[in-house]
Amino acid sequence: MVATTLEAAQHAASLVTAAYDAEQPTTDMADMADAPAGEPQTYARGDADQALDSAAVRMEMTYRLARNQHNALEPHATIARWDGDKLTVWDKTQWVFGTQMELATVFGMAPESVRVISPFVGGGFGSALRTWPHVVIAALAARETKRPVKLALTRRQLYFGTGFRPAYQYAVRLGSDRRGRLTAMVHDVRAETSRYETFMESVLVPGQMLYSMPNVRQAYRTVPLDVNTPLYMRGPGYTTASYVIESAMDELAHHLGIDPIELRLRNEPDADESSGLPFSTRKLRECYAVGAREFGWHRRNPQPRSTRDGDWLIGTGMAAGVYDTARNDAQASVRLDADGTALVQSAAGDMGPGTYTSQTQLAADALGLTMRNVTFRLGDSLMPPAPPHGGSWTMASVGSAVRDGCDKLRQQAIELAVADEKSPLHGADPADVVVSAGRLHVNGDPARGETCQQLLTRNERPTSNAPAGRECTLGVGDFDEVEGIHGGPASFPVDGLLDRAHDLHVAAAAADVAAHPLADLLGGAGVPFLDAADAGHDLPRRAEPALEGVLLDERPLQRMQFTVLATWGEPLDGGDLGALQAPCQRQAGVDPPPVDQDGAGPAGTGVAALLGAGQAELFAQQVQQRGPVVDRGGAPLAVHGQRDATAGGATAVPPTSIVVAMNVWRVGAGAGPSGGGSYDSGSSVDMPTLFVRFGGRSVD
């Protein structure tokens, strides 16, 4: 229902009666014990079964993990607006390019004709890593009504309108010697998925490298149920597996009467035994030592229920977690203006980790400016590409791009100064010039220098369309996009975005950060909501039919969802991968949009006229660097070998980069782990809008 007020839309929706032929649904894996499951993902080293048979100590445990629903403080919401054949969408998304690609595919448009804006995500936790049906519905409604349309999911709709961490049934068998040295572990993992999609995540990784043992066998199957498709949530897969493995280790420690930390130390690997490669970071022994000291580990009474504080039982336990230090391709643009301020942009997200702040700090540090004079903007598909805001890689990826771009820009400013006869720095060795608090000066001779403002003001030139009239700007990155060079003149309103970028454009691949394929998304190990998870079975049961019609009718949408997910390194159904190649390349930064070259030429000329000879060479060099990339043009995905492997359906496992963290905690009996926080933010768009509400009354 679409109406001019929310109340009218809600009322109209309440008048709709939808009739369904009801069948008995299955929403609990426990009811599907013997159900045929999908083809398993497997892993093996050594002969785990034989090793188990001959193990001195054998233990067998099954852990059932409840579903965790996504329901952040800030629900999913979308505003869609069409300007002719261009679509602009304000959305809660952790990846503006994912939403852009999906909408472009659904509506049969070029991605450039879809602009997605998401300056604040609110609580993400992984739930905004996929484009949900309501986003398409909002765009469709806006197209049909020829008005901007706003659609906000209700709390209840979040349960079936977005994803969730799937329920697991994780059976583990372990064998060890009498001293607790592990010889084998067998993992039989079953996870729920929907009937219409297969969702899998990196639940197998910790079992392969958390502890040292010669024999491991793993099988990971999905069980299709009458539920909506799961999605990533906070340390997806890793959290689940760590919980199971660490619980099993505690059982073994208890069985053998060995201190839990001592047991783990006896099984601490020297290298990643799944690859033979060394860990990039693994300070687990140190974690144990410090944690044990800080928490008074050795004073604890290991006997269960032995320590009380009034009516509270006090327990002290420990567990290790593991997560890879993933990194992904990212680009950033950086511009230094004559007023001494810098603008840094990358289409990253901020769901609460403080991307705005951290990137501003990084940029200010690298540019030699105060934070007050640096503005960082994110969350717009017109900006240089950034990877999905998940996987704990935004800082490493976007941060590297920002850092690299700012370093280059600082260098440009220095080069400009030492070549400028009117600058006090004229003739200085660029290597001797530093920038600090917005001032360039010779290292060791602070008196010899000038401010960025002075340098750029002196090098002013007339501008054609900047209201200020005359400005000078230095920049690196893809400023051209907002002026419409990218895919022809854009009709997107660029309000507030790059409002001063109308004069000098230096297009260069400022900072392409190479990365290995993505293994998984989202770090951390909190649980946003501690649900009474069994209640979840009942709500989706009645809610789902409302959505099902939408899903069936939007086949292109579903297809695109597969492909978008697959670009993140998660093999879903594996079909339709061809469709994602171009967007994937774009996102990955493997091939920056070829049109950038068009921008680079004239801009380079302009720079040459403005700057000294050496400076022109610098830019020419950067443009040339871009050259081979552009030449690849429409090359297939295979140009990026690692990514190709991902697209082929292989499980991408980070080969060397592992971080291990330890948590030791103290809980009161009766108090579960408390919920994680959420980031309170909001963005509003002031425009006449229509409201959509979908749903209605179902009659069985």
Partner 1 sequence: MRGRYIAGGTTLVDLMRETVERPETLVDISALPLREVTVTERGGLRIGALVRMAEAAAHPKVRTLYPVVSQALELSASAQLRNMATIGGNIMQRTRCAYFRDVTAACNKREPGSGCAALEGFNRTHAIVGTSRQCVATHPSDVAVAFAALEARVHLLGPDGERGVAFADFLLKPGSTPNRDQSLRQGELITSVEIPAHPRPLKSGYLKVRDRQSYEFPLTSAAVALHVRGGVIHEAKVAAGGVGTVPWKLPAVERHLIGERSSQALWTQAAERAAHGARPLAHNRFKIELLKRTVERQLRIVGGTP
Q: Which helix (H) or strand (E) holds 292?
A: helix 284-294
Q: Shortest gap between Cβ of 631 and partner 1 (angstroms)?
A: 58
| Span of 406-414, 424-432, 438-446, 668-676 interacting with partner 1 by CB under 8 A | 668-676
Q: Looking at beta carbons only, is 528 or 583 nearer to partner 1? A: 528
Q: Is 167 strand, coil or helix?
A: coil
**List 311, 421, 495, 686, residue binding partner 1 (CB under 8 A):** 311
Instruction: Identify whether the C-beta of residue 515 lies closer than 8 Å to the C-beta of residue 328.
Output: yes
Q: Is 434 strand, coil or helix?
A: strand
**List 671, 682, 684, 688, residue binding partner 1 (CB under 8 A):** 671
Pair of tokens at residue 74: 């800030």
Q: Say which residues have a Cβ less than 8 Å from residue 696's Cβ, sequence separation at least 6.
A: 13, 14, 15, 16, 17, 18, 546
**Taking CB under 8 A as the rule, does residue 539 contact partner 1?**
yes
**Taking CB under 8 A as the rule, does residue 698 contact partner 1?**
yes
Q: Is 224 strand, coil or helix?
A: strand
Q: Looking at beta carbons only, is 4 or 674 nearer to partner 1? A: 674
**Taking CB under 8 A as the rule, does residue 617 contact partner 1?**
no
Place of tokens 């993990």: 65
Q: Looking at beta carbons only, is 312 or 621 nearer to partner 1? A: 312
How far is it, in rounded angstroms, from Cα 557 to Cα 138? 13
Place of tokens 């370093």: 407
CA-to-CA dists, residue 198 to 65, 193, 275, 537, angstroms: 19, 6, 27, 19
Nearest residue to 248 via CA among 165, 177, 322, 186: 186
Q: Shortest gap between Cβ of 520 and partner 1 (angstroms)?
A: 29
**List 532, 633, 634, 688, residue binding partner 1 (CB under 8 A):** 532
**Taking CB under 8 A as the rule, does residue 5 contact partner 1?**
no
CA-to-CA dists, residue 54 to 177, 203, 266, angstroms: 10, 27, 20
**Taking CB under 8 A as the rule, does residue 538 contact partner 1?**
yes
Q: Looking at beta carbons only, is 203 or 692 nearer to partner 1? A: 692
| Span of 180-188, 296-304, 534-542, 614-622 interacting with partner 1 by CB under 8 A | 534-542
| Span of 434-442, 490-498, 510-518, 532-540 interacting with partner 1 by CB under 8 A | 532-540
Nearest residue to 124 via CA among 519, 399, 392: 392
Q: Looking at beta carbons only, is 108 or 672 nearer to partner 1? A: 672
**Taking CB under 8 A as the rule, does residue 14 contact partner 1?**
yes
Q: Shortest gap between Cβ of 315 and partner 1 (angstroms)?
A: 17
**Taking CB under 8 A as the rule, does residue 537 contact partner 1?**
yes
How far is it, in rounded angstroms, from Cα 666 to Cα 314? 7
Q: Looking at beta carbons only, is 56 or 530 nearer to partner 1? A: 530
Q: Looking at beta carbons only, is 71 or 473 nearer to partner 1? A: 71
**Taking CB under 8 A as the rule, does residue 309 contact partner 1?**
no
Q: Looking at beta carbons only, is 372 or 697 nearer to partner 1? A: 697
How far is it, in rounded angstroms, from Cα 94 to Cα 116? 11
Strand order in the sheet with 690-692: 2-3, 690-692, 149-152, 77-83, 86-91, 114-117
Q: Is 658 strand, coil or helix?
A: strand
Q: What 8-state DSSP symbol labels residue 399? A: H
**Taking CB under 8 A as the rule, does residue 495 contact partner 1?**
no
**Taking CB under 8 A as the rule, does residue 697 contact partner 1?**
yes
- Per-residue x/- track, 436-465, partner 1 (CB under 8 A): ------------------------------
**Taking CB under 8 A as the rule, does residue 530 contact partner 1?**
yes
Binding site for partner 1 (CB under 8 A): 10, 14, 156, 311, 530, 532, 534-535, 537-539, 542, 671-672, 675, 697-698
